[in-house]
């Protein structure tokens, strides 16, 4: 019988069985157990909720597998153990993926299904990052994944995945129309509709990440040469200015009026661009909440589209906040915007990243290939 996954058991493994522990003199973190060391690593990602959630999931999986399947703490794992772990990710069976076990709690299953090749690669990259950080922190003496042979993703796979993760113009128009038609039987329903309406337009109108939208304030907006700009602090603390259209400013004015605010922000006003459901006095919006608002809205709209547009409904059930960033880039490219301008708007370090969103050449190729020809 396969061992039952247990996070609690993972924490009880003795540190004396850890030959890869570094001498304590060089330790840079206050951690005496694997669980404490992992917690210190995860604390580095406290400002990125989605990254934190993904990294914690992979760390828990590895920690539980190491103790339950190998009988070892992390600091005893060697290269052969990690090879076995990578193979395990491709075929977790028994209790590890038992559909009758709960999805949350101490006795939960850790896998919904075997991981795809891309997911296994991502998981091992995260684990490698964990081990590397623990070496730098002076907790481990060596990184057993440093010996791992790097394999590239299949050529074009990253481009293909990104190209698929956007809403085309027709589906986007349907989303906006559906939200505008949501009934508002109570004041709270109306508050929710107005917030969803504004959030969706803000994300696609600016290409902001969820964390950037949650952090945006009224004093980040400014006028230059009669045009509106939004100053954004992105990844790594990089600062950039994003153009804001008159149409989006009109949507902001509607949202602000709904909450009893003047249509345009006053100089120095620090009101969040996305307000809590209760208005200015409510709890500040977090990146996780931004993500959940969008996911819930897409699920609701997908339910409305199931009968008439099952393909659109399926797309929306997969979509997330980052899809709207891709949507912003794709719509800008479809409109003929200069690629360098789109790069600056999305604050990409490389123009090659931005070029992924160019679909016009594919559209022209398809049109010319499938155009009816006279006999």
pLDDT digits (tens, 9 = 90+) for 12-21: 443 446 788 8
What is the distance between the alpha carbons of residues 322 and 207, in angstroms, rounded to a whole number?
9
Sheet holding 239-244, edge to edge: 221-224, 227-233, 239-244
pTM above 0.85, yes or no: no
Class of domain 162-370: mainly alpha
Evaluate if residue 158 carries a pLDDT over 50. Answer: no
pLDDT in tens, 263-272: 999 988 999 9
- Domain boundaries of the chain, sorted by first residue: 7-151, 162-370
CA 334, CA 359: separation in Å to the nearest integer? 7
E strand or H helix that includes residue 229: strand 227-233
Cβ–Cβ under 8 Å, residues 271 and 180? no
299-to-13, 78, 164 alpha-carbon distances in Å:
42, 44, 18
- Binned at pLDDT 50, 70 and 90, residue 4 comes out as very low
Residue 115: pLDDT above 70? Answer: yes
| Distance (Å) of CA 207 to CA 242, 266, 327 | 9, 24, 8
Q: What are phi and psi of 176, to 5 degrees?
A: -65, -40
């Amino acid at each position: 019988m396969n061992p039952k996954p247990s996070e609690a058991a993972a924490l009880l493994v003795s540190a004396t069985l850890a030959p890869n522990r570094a001498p304590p003199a060089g330790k840079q973190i206050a951690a005496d157990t694997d669980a404490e060391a992992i917690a210190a690593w995860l604390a580095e990602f406290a400002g990125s909720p989605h990254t934190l959630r993904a990294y914690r999931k992979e760390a828990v999986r590895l920690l539980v597998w190491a103790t339950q399947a190998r009988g070892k703490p992390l600091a005893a794992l060697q290269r052969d153990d990690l090879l076995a772990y990578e193979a395990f990710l491709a075929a977790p069976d028994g209790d590890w993926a038992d559909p009758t076990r709960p999805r949350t709690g101490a006795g939960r299953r850790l896998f919904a299904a075997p991981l795809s090749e891309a997911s296994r690669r991502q998981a091992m990259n995260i684990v490698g990052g964990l081990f590397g950080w623990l070496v730098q922190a002076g907790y481990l003496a060596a990184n057993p994944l440093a010996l791992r042979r790097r394999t590239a993703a299949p050529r074009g796979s990253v481009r293909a995945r990104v190209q698929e993760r956007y809403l085309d113009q027709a589906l986007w128009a349907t989303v906006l129309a559906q939200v505008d038609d949501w009934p508002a039987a109570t004041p709270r329903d109306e508050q929710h509709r107005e917030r969803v309406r504004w959030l969706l337009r803000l994300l696609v109108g600016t290409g902001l990440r969820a964390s950037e939208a949650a952090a945006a304030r009224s004093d980040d907006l400014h006028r230059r040469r009669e045009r509106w700009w939004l100053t954004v602090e992105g990844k790594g603390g990089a600062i950039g200015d994003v153009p804001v259209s008159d149409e989006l400013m009109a949507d902001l004015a509607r949202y602000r009026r709904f909450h009893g605010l003047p249509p345009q922000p006053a100089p120095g006003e620090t009101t969040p661009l996305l307000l809590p459901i209760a208005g200015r006095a409510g709890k500040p919006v977090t990146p996780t909440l931004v993500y959940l608002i969008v996911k819930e809205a897409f699920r609701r709209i997908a339910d409305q589209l199931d009968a008439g547009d099952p393909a659109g409904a399926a797309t929306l059930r997969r979509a997330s906040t980052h899809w709207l960033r891709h949507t912003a880039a794709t719509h800008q490219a479809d409109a003929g915007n200069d690629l360098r301008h789109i790069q600056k708007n999305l604050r990409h370090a490389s123009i090659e990243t931005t070029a992924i969103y160019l679909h016009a050449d594919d559209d022209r190729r398809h049109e010319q290939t499938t155009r009816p020809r006279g006999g």
